[in-house]
Amino acid sequence: MSALPQPSPRRPIRELPDELISQIAAGEVVERPASVVRELVDNALDAGATEITVRLVAGGVRAILVEDDGIGIPADELPMALKRHATSKIASLAELEAVSTMGFRGEALAAIASVAEVAVLSRTAGADHAWRLDARSGELAPAARGVGTSVEVRELFFSTPARRKFLKTDATELAHCIEAVRRHALARPDVAFAVWHEGRLVEQWRRASFEQRVRDVLGADFMEGAREVQARVGPLALSGYAGVPEAARSRADQQYFYVNGRYVRDKLLAHGVRAAYEDVLHGARQPVYLLRLDIAPDRVDVNVHPTKIEVRFRDAREVHQAVRHAVEAALAQPHTQAAAAPAGPVAQPTASTGAQPATATQTGTETAWVSGGGRSFSAPPVVREPVAAFGAQLQGRLAWQEALALHAAEPGAAWPRRLEVPAAQADTPCAAADEPRPDWPLGRAIAQLGGVYILAENAHGLVIVDMHAAHERIVYERLKRLLAEQRIEAQPLLIPATFAATPAEIATAESAREALLTLGLDVSPLGPGTLAVRSRPAALAQADVVELARSVLAELAHYDASHVIERAQHELLATMACHGAVRAHRRLTLEEMNALLREMERTERADQCNHGRPTWRQLTLKELDGLFLRGR
């Protein structure tokens, strides 16, 4: 008995039969019912439909019917529509390079027809009636329907039981089908969509503005936590919404990216977005976003993947940068703009600045404990208020702020111990008046609570600030700025601080000496088993130098010495900021608290700490009234 397989006799090279080629192509295009839905909706959109209805049976496995009111297919072209590589959308290579339709490969209908029973029913504007083509029998017969096209797909994978086995439960397949329509719906608010499952309407989106469509499809929650993205960089235009870090999720299930209206899952783009969250989001959390990139068609190749879900850009770097910066800018919008928006007539702009009053309607006030980030979105008119106008509103207090900035920049004064209010401003209500300063977005400090929170009063009511988290962000942003300018100043210690170090710490101190010096830390061996810290960053006067040095050494130990600062900047600065930030349970004076609030107002991304947690919350008077059942 020979167990060895006999080599099969060689067969001559032959062309594959068309049927088989189609099935191979189908393997790329049709993975599950949702892929069919995607292709058919693509076709309906290319045909100029304004209303698309998707009907499913058994999650789409038994039947998928997509109806549209597009231009239709003339009867004599119906057989052609089902042929491989037959398309009405491009006729030459030049046209491929400028393609603006969703489809162009002429493959989908043929591929679907090779793995399912397909019929196409269509009527063009000039025709007296519709025609129905049965793909299997090739029979063409008159039929009834208005202008447009219906494609019926039954018994997907009926002839390939092995593939049918890979399908999941009907409920799962249905969910994927709905997601496929959702992706289209987000790109095309001008088109109405409906999804039926076994006679039941499961989703319906009417024609709407883009904003309203996003709200309809992704829910009010998404909008509450989203910032508007608007940027134009050379030939690129980016728009859409990016969720604040707090809105991030444990799964990447709300990340939508469109290139020229086509949904894509592209590593480069995803990475660009992720990079924008680097400073504000903990690694495992997934940001939510819906972004649209519009770019000249000849700068992007959409024909690199059978389902066109990946793309290739002519200038990948430029695109990556643009995405990153646009999202960063959206996330860095001064957090306090919305809080600065008056609920009533309190905050009229000073006449001399000419700044327009913000006219937000506080749609977020219904929700208790609206975060700073969320609120700034829920008041879109304010979000669009240019940053400069906000700056102008602050002009009146610039002198005071400059004093603060100078003070903060002095070595040893990262945390102003006592803030000297300039004489000219000595009558500011900061310490004296009972009235809140409505034009301080984060308000006037009134107390410290539990050694952890600062309570402040602003025009809307009560502001609660997590002082460590807020200060950590301020210190982080300051260090980042200094590092970018290559000037984290080292402050020599009169008496070096020494500590017993492990061999690993000593090794890191030696190998990463350059990096340490760049960070303002002079740490060097002093005899066996001992390290001495001779200088520390001037900006971190608060920190315990030994703990600071130990933490930074621990962080540096994860990396090779070369380019460590570039590669681990976020981690290093976050570690340093944590040590430099005011500790819980430190008693602060009102001046110190106010100084912190003002610094928050000036700091980018101050809404969140370095880990993406909120740094402050607003509790409005209305919400307080609600707690006490006042006015009911």
User: What is the closest distance, in whole angstroms, from the C-beta atom of residue 50 to ligand ADP in the complex?
Assistant: 13
The residues that bridge with 447 in the sheet, in sequence order, are: 455
Considering CB distances under 5 to 8 angstroms, the limit depending on partner class, which of Mg ion, ligand ADP, none binds residue 44? ligand ADP
User: What is the closest distance, in whole angstroms, from the C-beta atom of residue 98 to ligand ADP in the complex?
Assistant: 15
User: What is the closest distance, in whole angstroms, from the C-beta atom of residue 38 to ligand ADP in the complex?
Assistant: 11
- Give yes or no for residue 149 binding Mg ion (CB under 5 A): no
β-pairing verdict for 616-620 and 461-466: antiparallel
Considering the complex, state which of residue 30 and residue 581 has its C-beta at the smaller distance from ligand ADP.
Answer: 30
Find out whether 118 and 135 touch, Cβ atoms under 8 Å.
Answer: yes
Interface mask (CB under 5 A) for Mg ion, residues 10-49, using x and -? --------------------------------xx------
Considering the complex, state which of residue 74 and residue 626 has its C-beta at the smaller distance from ligand ADP.
Answer: 74
Q: Cα–Cα distance between 164 and 178 in angstroms, integer?
A: 20
Q: Cα–Cα distance between 102 and 551 in angstroms, integer?
A: 52
Considering the complex, state which of residue 22 and residue 333 has its C-beta at the smaller distance from ligand ADP.
Answer: 22
Considering CB distances under 5 to 8 angstroms, the limit depending on partner class, which of ligand ADP, Mg ion, none binds residue 240? none
Find out whether 291 and 330 touch, Cβ atoms under 8 Å.
Answer: no
Considering the complex, state which of residue 43 and residue 365 has its C-beta at the smaller distance from Mg ion.
Answer: 43
User: What is the closest distance, in whole angstroms, from the C-beta atom of residue 151 to ligand ADP in the complex?
Assistant: 6
Residue nearest to ligand ADP (CB): 103
Q: Cα–Cα distance between 275 and 45 in angstroms, integer?
A: 33
Considering the complex, state which of residue 39 and residue 279 has its C-beta at the smaller distance from ligand ADP.
Answer: 39
- Give yes or no for residue 103 binding Mg ion (CB under 5 A): yes
β-pairing verdict for 255-259 and 289-294: parallel
Residue nearest to Mg ion (CB): 103
DSSP state of 364: G
Interface mask (CB under 5 A) for Mg ion, residues 104-133, using x and -? ----x-------------------------
- Give yes or no for residue 463 binding Mg ion (CB under 5 A): no
Considering CB distances under 5 to 8 angstroms, the limit depending on partner class, which of ligand ADP, Mg ion, none binds residue 116? none
Task: Tell me the H-state helices in 332-464.
Answer: 337-340, 372-378, 380-383, 387-394, 398-409
User: What is the closest distance, in whole angstroms, from the C-beta atom of residue 109 to ligand ADP in the complex?
Assistant: 4
Considering CB distances under 5 to 8 angstroms, the limit depending on partner class, which of ligand ADP, Mg ion, none binds residue 247? none
User: What is the closest distance, in whole angstroms, from the C-beta atom of residue 69 to Mg ion in the complex?
Assistant: 17
User: What is the closest distance, in whole angstroms, from the C-beta atom of residue 484 to ligand ADP in the complex?
Assistant: 48
The residues that bridge with 262 in the sheet, in sequence order, are: 259
Considering the complex, state which of residue 149 and residue 393 has its C-beta at the smaller distance from ligand ADP.
Answer: 149
Place of tokens 């260090």: 479
Write out the DSSP string of 6-74: PPPPP----PPPHHHHHHHHHHHH-SSHHHHHHHHHHHHHHTT-SEEEEEEEGGGTSEEEEEE-S----
Considering the complex, state which of residue 41 and residue 582 has its C-beta at the smaller distance from ligand ADP.
Answer: 41
The residues that bridge with 453 in the sheet, in sequence order, are: 449, 466
Q: Which residues bind ligand ADP (CB under 6 A)?
A: 39, 43-44, 46-47, 68, 70-73, 81, 86-89, 103-110, 149
HSE (side-chain half, CA atoms, 13 Å) at 143? 21
User: What is the closest distance, in whole angstroms, from the C-beta atom of residue 55 to Mg ion in the complex?
Assistant: 19
Find out whether 275 and 221 touch, Cβ atoms under 8 Å.
Answer: no
User: What is the closest distance, in whole angstroms, from the C-beta atom of residue 152 to ligand ADP in the complex?
Assistant: 12
HEC-encoded secondary structure of 386-398: CHHHHHHHHHHHH
Q: Cα–Cα distance between 116 and 416 in angstroms, integer?
A: 73
Chain contacts with Mg ion (rule: CB under 5 A): 42-43, 103, 108
